[in-house]
Structure 1
Amino acid sequence: MSRTLVVVGHGMVAHRLVERLLDGDTRRQWRVVVLGEEPWPAYDRIHLSRHLEGAGTDALLLTDPAPRAGSRVATWTGTRAVGVDRERRLVRTEPGEPHRYDALVLATGSRPFVPPVPGRDAEGCFTYRTLDDVRAVRAAATPGAAAVVVGGGLLGLEAANGLRALGMRTHVVEAAPRLMPVQLDAPGGSLLADTIRDRGTDVRCGVALERVAAGPDGRVASVALTDGTVLDASMVVFAAGVRPRDELAEDAGLPAGPRGGFLVDEWCRTPDPRVWAVGECAAVAGRCHGLVAPGYRMAESVAAQLLDGTATPFGEPDLSTRLKLLGVQVASFGDAHAHTEGALEYAVRSPAGGHYAKLVTSGDGRVLLGGVLVGDTGPFPRLRSLVGHPLPVSADALLRHG
């Protein structure tokens, strides 16, 4: 007799979980019910700017919205889970129909963080997280007008890129001293900012949004920054980070991590042996991870546990990143910030050529620990594969000659 897996959330990580489970379920042990809050099935959230630039919804979808004949997956879009009864093993939904489970995976993701500044609710203020957000931004975009993107991380730079493609004059405001502070070091972030400025996007780091001012019609007219600068703007897009969606924790009687998220162990298990959490809502050993790669690892681990009960623990997540942002290639891998005790850093910067490369090694210079690349990420695959291994040549030679 088949068992029922209920997955709450239908983002990229939930999609990977379901795909891995069905691919490995040769004995057809499981039927799957997916409860997605958005009106679409899973889509590529990383490349939302493609939709902003005009790509259709279908170009981002990860799965066919039409169910396949004989499918063991029932996908409920536009369905919000509002409670979990662990004793009866039921998930309650806003439409009112409960779903019984033998196993439950919480993949509720994150919500955008909007700084609590005056005027943040003015007409013309948007978040940048979902397809609905992007559609609203695209409908409001006016070529030649100014837009302010709050946040200089991955999503903020994606938003800025899309707005620039729509013909808007774009400002990026980042409270940290540099762009992409999680992935890049100070020289790499500085070079990225300089290159983006040279290509027509204003970048302001080390300064935060203080307030949004609206005109007589209630629409955004300008923003004030903490350094006293006032920028004219017809639109403000908030892409300043996320917070885990863990609203179901209290109702379900499940513990949360110190900074939010469903508290799980290294196998993504909650204290309830029938309930797991994966992706941005999962606080693995108390820590949430905002990148998709760690979420994929969680999804694959839980799928393996559901199939045969075995899986490797989560361990240290792979936070490697390789992207093209506003036309600039950027990559980081391993211990990019040299947090390892005794680590050494070797760097080469060519401002004229727009290239920066840094390698981090063990104290004896023999083992590669991580690195940063800006402008040319061609060496990324090879360097990433060398992390944790002895270097074939010196770090200096590897930087200069590849």
Structure 2
Amino acid sequence: MTEHVVVVGHGPVGHRLIDRIRDGERVRHRRVTVLTDEPHPAYDRVNLSSCFEGTSSTELLLPGPRTREAPWTDLRLSTEVVACDPAAHTVTCADGTKVGYDALVLATGSRPWVPAVPGHDFPGCFTYRTLEDVQAIRRAARPGRAGVVVGGGLLGLEAANALRLLGMVPYVVETAPRLLPAHTDDGAGRLLVHRVRSLGMTVRCGTGVREVTPGADGRVAAVVLSDGTEVEACLVVFTAGIRPRDELAAATGPIRADRGGFLVDERCRTSSDRIWAIGECAAIHGRCYGLVAPGYRMAEAVARQLLGASDACFRGENSVIRLKLPGVDMAAFGDVHAETRDAMEFCWNDHSTGTYSKLVLAGDGRTLIGAILVGASVGALPVLHVLRGHELSASPEELLRSVMPGAAPVP
């Protein structure tokens, strides 16, 4: 294993990397320095919304007194890294401290993207990414008042449900023609809107935000949509997307991909010697993965390399997208939009039970490459995900009927 590893970032992916290094041999003879600008050790961002259901911030901390207290690990909180010098093999912190490394792993993650609409920075406007965001939204919440969530993706719907749990009236605005546009089609989107509205949330798809207007106190008072509709609201949460934190890709640092992120190969190696990038800040052959599961696989691959397995690499994305709201179950994986050449789509819609299912097969008509499930059909997820990439032994109709009796083909 490399003598001194420096990790920039201590989110879930950086934490996974350190744990896997710890699991390796001869760790007690090596050093790992972790530099993070957050004031907290790694915590479970995926379940951040559980804070609105009684989970404490302490309970969200990822397991590891062993990581934070291990003699071979130096965890420095509230320490921002502002520069990287690959030639000198050092990073520079905001306070001027330089830290040398034998290997550097960038796990800086991403930051929320906030559209530059007028008023986006008024008091009462928030993002939904960190424990601090959750605490700020809780303090600003006013039961009975409306709160606008800008963005109808997974995070947006979680934020809307958080407002609902705080006693507010959520209003979800999505520029795409349906909710979760990256993971649904029109059929699934229509059912999803119906289910979400049944929770007392207002949903507006196909429109954006023109501006946020203030009240006499200078705080958010209303949101004007692109079609001119004005929504009175005391709080706005932006969940319109994320951008990789790749500021260290300066003139002397790793190369940045065309669409952002540190450009890396399948081994997560950057253009600079001895520097890797993992998680949402890594653009593998130009593609960033905005999910934690691929980040974990990147972390495990890099840990193996640092422990001596030079051929370890990231094997690709195989994640399941899962939405869990009260009474609203939705899951998807693979090529849900049938973008693969000659892909075939099979859809089932049971209006009586509010169930929608879609299987996407390769051009051979037998190999499963994607699926969308809404409602009771989500129960078929474990079976279908295992079958991804494999040739089916039964027809799509027979397969769905076997795992979800009563599924009715779309006429």
The two structures share one fold, judged by TM-score above 0.5: yes
Worse overlay, 24-33 or 337-346: 24-33
Whole-Å separation in 1 of the counterparts to 2:164 and 2:27: 50
Residue 359 of structure 1 corresponds to which residue in structure 2? 359
Worse overlay, 89-98 or 75-84: 89-98
8 Å CA contact 2:17–2:300 kept in 1: the answer is: yes
Whole-Å separation in 2 of the counterparts to 1:25 and 1:232: 59
Residue 107 of structure 1 corresponds to which residue in structure 2? 107
Worse overlay, 46-55 or 301-310: 46-55
Worse overlay, 214-223 or 53-62: 53-62
Residue 283 of structure 1 corresponds to which residue in structure 2? 283
Residue 226 of structure 1 corresponds to which residue in structure 2? 226
Worse overlay, 24-33 or 178-187: 24-33
Whole-Å separation in 2 of the counterparts to 1:280 and 1:273: 21
Whole-Å separation in 1 of the counterparts to 2:258 and 2:88: 28
Instruction: Map 1:205-354; keep pairs closer than 5 Å.
Output: 205-250=205-250, 252-354=252-354
Are residues 65 and 231 of structure 1, via their aligned partners in 2, closer, same or farther at CA, if it must alter by over 3 Å? farther
Are residues 13 and 379 of structure 1, via their aligned partners in 2, closer, same or farther at CA, if it must alter by over 3 Å? same
Residue 197 of structure 1 corresponds to which residue in structure 2? 197
Residue 401 of structure 2 corresponds to which residue in structure 1? 400
Are residues 355 and 311 of structure 1, via their aligned partners in 2, closer, same or farther at CA, if it must alter by over 3 Å? farther
Worse overlay, 303-312 or 313-322: 313-322
Whole-Å separation in 2 of the counterparts to 1:182 and 1:75: 36
Give percent identity, aligned residues only: 54
Whole-Å separation in 1 of the counterparts to 2:45 and 2:141: 20
SS at structure 1 position matched to 2:46:
helix
Instruction: Map 1:380-399; keep pairs closer than 5 Å.
Output: 380-399=381-400
Whole-Å separation in 2 of the counterparts to 1:27 and 1:233: 53
CA RMSD in angstroms comes to 1.7
Worse overlay, 86-95 or 135-144: 86-95
8 Å CA contact 2:21–2:27 kept in 1: the answer is: no
* AA at the equivalent of 1:401: S
* AA at the equivalent of 1:321: I
Instruction: Map 1:143-222; keep pairs closer than 5 Å.
Output: 143-222=143-222
Are residues 122 and 165 of structure 1, via their aligned partners in 2, closer, same or farther at CA, if it must alter by over 3 Å? same
Worse overlay, 207-216 or 333-342: 333-342
Worse overlay, 347-356 or 74-83: 347-356
Worse overlay, 59-68 or 253-262: 59-68
Offset at residue 30 of structure 1 (A):
3.0
Offset at residue 363 of structure 1 (A):
2.8
* AA at the equivalent of 1:399: L
Offset at residue 254 of structure 1 (A):
1.9
Instruction: Map 1:29-178; keep pairs closer than 5 Å.
Output: 30-64=30-64, 70-178=70-178
8 Å CA contact 1:4–1:32 kept in 2: the answer is: yes
* AA at the equivalent of 1:341: R
8 Å CA contact 1:220–1:236 kept in 2: the answer is: yes
* AA at the equivalent of 2:148: V
* AA at the equivalent of 2:203: V
* AA at the equivalent of 1:242: I
Structure 2 unaligned spans of 5+: 404-411
Offset at residue 29 of structure 1 (A):
5.0
Q: Which deviations, in whole Å up to 9, do the C-alpha atoms of 1:224-283 show, x marking residues without a partner?
A: 111221111000000110011011110543210001111111111012230000111111
Q: Which deviations, in whole Å up to 9, do the C-alpha atoms of 1:287-334 show, x marking residues without a partner?
A: 111011111111111111111133443243123222313541111112
Residue 25 of structure 2 corresponds to which residue in structure 1? 25
SS at structure 1 position matched to 2:31:
strand
Whole-Å separation in 2 of the counterparts to 1:199 and 1:382: 29
TM-score (norm 1): 0.96
8 Å CA contact 2:222–2:231 kept in 1: the answer is: yes
Whole-Å separation in 1 of the counterparts to 2:99 and 2:237: 36
Structure 1 unaligned spans of 5+: none
SS at structure 2 position matched to 1:142:
coil
Residue 408 of structure 2 corresponds to which residue in structure 1? none
8 Å CA contact 2:149–2:239 kept in 1: the answer is: yes
Instruction: Map 1:363-378; keep pairs closer than 5 Å.
Output: 363-376=363-376, 377-378=378-379
* AA at the equivalent of 1:386: L
Worse overlay, 320-329 or 9-18: 320-329
Offset at residue 177 of structure 1 (A):
1.2
Are residues 39 and 27 of structure 1, via their aligned partners in 2, closer, same or farther at CA, if it must alter by over 3 Å? closer
8 Å CA contact 1:196–1:326 kept in 2: the answer is: no
* AA at the equivalent of 1:363: G
Whole-Å separation in 2 of the counterparts to 1:141 and 1:69: 37
Are residues 70 and 112 of structure 1, via their aligned partners in 2, closer, same or farther at CA, if it must alter by over 3 Å? closer
Would you say how many aligned residue pairs link Structure 1 and Structure 2? 402
Worse overlay, 155-164 or 307-316: 307-316
8 Å CA contact 1:41–1:65 kept in 2: the answer is: no
SS at structure 1 position matched to 2:249:
helix
8 Å CA contact 2:18–2:67 kept in 1: the answer is: no
TM-score (norm 2): 0.94
